[in-house]
Copies of this chain bind each other. A is one copy, B any other.
Amino acid sequence: VTPIIWDDKNNVLTLLDQSALPFETTYVNLKTPEEVSSAIKSMKVRGAPAIGITAAYGMVLSIISSQNFEEALSSLSKAKTILDKARPTAVNLSWATSYMLSKAKDLVDNGEARNVGELISLMKEEAKKIFDAELEAELQMGIYGLEKINDGDTVLTQCNAGGLATGTGVGTALAPVKVANALGIKVSVIAPETRPWLQGSRLTVYELMTEGIPVTLIADTAVGLVMYKNMVNSIMVGADRILSDGHVYNKIGTFKEAVIGHELGIPFYALAPVTTFDMKSRVEDVVIEERDPDEVRTVRGVPIAPEGVKVYNPVFDVTPPKYVTAIITEKGIIYPPYDKNVRKVIER
């Protein structure tokens, strides 16, 4: 899948509309920061890295018709404000807009951009660098992860940590599967639906079917049986945050896969770029976000439970290091003991 397409000739950012997936494959063409902001807000693009890349191009779009440096820098400032508001808690978003703004100032200040035309060109390159850095990190994870995949393997995943979430088409958890498939190694995926948001049934299944990679959808209740029946060779998931001692925070449901894998001797791998590591927090410090109970009381707007039932709806769970066979990053594979080895690898 190619969720983010930049048309460098016509200066148009095209996004695969993820809010309509998997029922409709539609694209939206964006020409202004306002349009980009609105696309982010309405979840047409989602996933931290994908939002970052999109925002960077949103910044580029703000200066396409600028006549001079002053106008360009003012447009960038305005665009940053507009874009940052789209998803205030998305760290990658404000990181990308800040980076692009300060880069523009540098290019002007140090004379690298000699006129506004050059500034626009160089800013396009910067946005592309963000995309390329993400893609390269994912391909690296995929290559490291290849070591853990044998021909004919089936990988159990969770949620969507694929190329839709990252914007590159590759992904984190699915990177080894993508690389293996590209190399002609046979690999298939079991995707749990991943309630309440159904990223598994909606996005992972869509992404893999589109790319011709064999995928089987299961209800979340069936994760245990597929492992018990030896239908799974390894578990590969993404991560939202990894602590220095190896605790892995990821989409709710990950922990159960890790524990069952541990019990049955199926390796469990978390795949994430080194930016995912939180070297300061301890497990006691991290608060697990809870979301709207209606996400559990309904499915796509249809009620599935009595109105007003009490609900506990945590977004993430935490998998203790005991159950994590290895953490695969773009800088290499980290094995236990994590409290020693995490630092060694991510500080490379």
Contacts and interface: CB of A to CB of B under 8 A. Distances in A.
A75 B14 CA distance: 72
B304 A300 contact: yes
Contacts of A44: none
Contacts of A201: 296-297, 304-305, 309
A263 B253 contact: no
B263 A259 contact: yes
Given A209-B306, A312-B218, A299 B300 contact: yes
A286 interface: no
Contact of A225 (B218, B252, B263): B252
A313 interface: yes
A194 B318 CA distance: 22
A193 B296 contact: yes
Nearest to A192: B221
B218 A305 contact: no
A91 to B, nearest CB: 23
- Number of chain copies forming the complex: 2
A247 B318 CA distance: 30
A202 B311 contact: no
A198 interface: yes
A20 interface: no
Contacts of A263: 259, 262-263
B305 A302 contact: no
Contacts of A255: 224-225, 228, 260
A256 B299 contact: no
A205 to B, nearest CB: 5
A314 B190 CA distance: 14
Nearest to A223: B256
Contact of A309 (B209, B251, B300, B318): B209
Contact of A219 (B196, B214, B216, B218): B196
A283 to B, nearest CB: 11
A279 interface: no
A44 to B, nearest CB: 18
A215 interface: yes
Contact of A260 (B23, B217, B259, B300): B259
A60 to B, nearest CB: 33
Contacts of A28: none
A312 B201 CA distance: 13
Given A190-B312, A259-B260, 18 more contacts: A23-B306, A198-B304, A201-B309, A202-B305, A217-B312, A219-B313, A221-B252, A221-B256, A224-B317, A225-B314, A226-B312, A231-B312, A255-B260, A256-B256, A259-B259, A300-B302, A301-B302, A302-B302
9 contacts: A205-B309, A217-B296, A217-B305, A217-B310, A225-B317, A256-B256, A299-B299, A301-B302, A302-B302
